[in-house]
């Protein structure tokens, strides 16, 4: 794809990504998505115009060009959420060029993303979670240390609301009742570990056959750092055996942590800090879940509902 972009635009592309990573502290995963989105957009333009893409072509794009690109994504059955992110990626690049006074953003400013359906997070019920966390084993053929590892990890996720990659990046030497976690945007926050969480981590460390002292806390069966994909594959299998909902995943533990705190009366600002959200808006979705549950209770219990 690089040969379809002229050298000047390639250098601007690299400068934009560097700004996102160094100055704005975007995560590696976000940078990968933004890079892929912009390359896909430029590839579309190349096919559309049958010529090497340069700055002059970007300066002369019309509203119809952006609409044609978004329509092509819809025809590929890409989700509204994916299309909205792709538009944000392209818009970010155009804003970067505008700051360099290389073009203006009037055309792309007039491109409106399709309204996303509001997707509420899907937590796991409190009863199901507690029952699951207290199981003696998960898979009969697993060594005891693997069960201990999984129980420690699941308990950690639910008791702290950590993202799965935040949990898997923990090093054994850093485990403490108060831990500093580096989250998205290289933002640090402190999480507290309950005694039961520490106890289960210590049980796992004690029974693990590998030396954990200097490396990552959670290891796979071959002694290498445990991958998030492995965790979710195991949870997919476990949902059938343990009456867990279909949406069960490592991220569902984080949703459950936040939802249950809000339902118990925790204030939103505190939950925002615990989750490591940059803005309160990201945390407010959990109040929507609570409102929904409240309405269901209201419908079932109000005297007039029985009339």
Indicate if 204 belongs to the active site: no
Can you tell me the distance from the alpha carbon of 255 to that of 132, in angstroms, rounded to the nearest whole number? Answer: 16
Please say if 184 is a catalytic residue: yes
Q: How far apart are CA 216 and CA 12, in angstroms?
A: 37
Q: Residue 255 catalytic?
A: no
DSSP output for 144-169: HHHHHHHHHHHHHHHHH---HHHHHT
302 is catalytic: no
Structural contact between residues 89 and 38, judged by C-beta atoms closer than 8 angstroms: yes
Structure tokens of 182?
């580096």
Of the candidates 151, 234, 254, 255, the residue annotated as catalytic is 254
- Kindly name the residue from 151, 163, 255, 260 that is annotated as catalytic: 163
Among residues 34, 138, 154, 286, which one is catalytic? 286
Q: Catalytic pick from 149, 151, 200, 277? A: 277
Determine phi and psi for 244, rounding to 5 degrees. -90, 150
The Cα-based distances of 205 to 101, 211, 280 in angstroms read 56, 9, 36
Query: Beta partners for 53?
Result: 5
Which of the following is catalytic: 122, 184, 189, 210?
Answer: 184
- For the chain, helix, strand, coil in percent to 5 are 65, 5, 30
Q: Are 253 and 124 in contact (CB under 8 A)?
A: yes
222 a catalytic residue: no
Decide if 81 is catalytic: no
Task: Show which residues are catalytic.
Answer: 163, 184, 251, 254, 277, 286
């Amino acid at each position: 794809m690089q040969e379809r972009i002229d050298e000047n635009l390639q250098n601007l592309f690299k400068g934009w990504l560097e700004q996102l990573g160094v100055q704005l502290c975007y995560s590696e995963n976000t940078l990968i998505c933004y890079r892929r989105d912009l390359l896909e957009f430029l590839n579309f333009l190349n096919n559309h115009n049958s010529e090497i893409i340069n700055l002059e072509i970007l300066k002369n794009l019309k509203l119809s060009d952006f609409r044609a690109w978004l329509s092509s994504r819809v025809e590929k059955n890409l989700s509204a959420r994916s299309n909205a992110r792709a538009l944000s990626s392209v818009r970010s690049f155009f804003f970067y060029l505008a700051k360099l006074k290389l073009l203006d953003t009037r055309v792309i400013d007039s491109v409106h993303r399709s309204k996303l359906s509001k997707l509420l997070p899907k937590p796991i019920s409190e009863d199901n979670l507690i029952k699951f966390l207290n199981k003696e084993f998960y898979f009969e053929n697993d060594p005891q240390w693997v069960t201990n590892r999984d129980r420690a990890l699941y308990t950690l996720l639910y008791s702290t609301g950590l993202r799965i990659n935040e949990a898997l990046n923990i090093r054994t030497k850093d485990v403490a009742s108060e831990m500093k976690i580096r989250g998205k945007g290289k933002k640090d926050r402190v999480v507290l570990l309950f005694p039961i969480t520490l106890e289960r981590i210590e049980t796992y460390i004690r029974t693990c056959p590998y030396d954990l002292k200097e490396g990552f806390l959670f290891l796979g069966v071959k002694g290498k750092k445990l991958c998030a994909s492995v965790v979710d594959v195991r949870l997919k299998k476990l949902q059938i055996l343990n009456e867990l909902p279909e949406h069960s995943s490592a991220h569902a533990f984080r949703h459950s942590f936040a939802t249950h705190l809000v339902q118990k009366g925790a204030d939103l600002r505190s939950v925002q800090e615990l989750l490591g959200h940059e803005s309160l808006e990201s945390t407010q979705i959990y109040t929507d879940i609570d409102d929904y549950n409240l309405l269901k209770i209201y419908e079932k219990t109000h005297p007039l509902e029985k009339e």
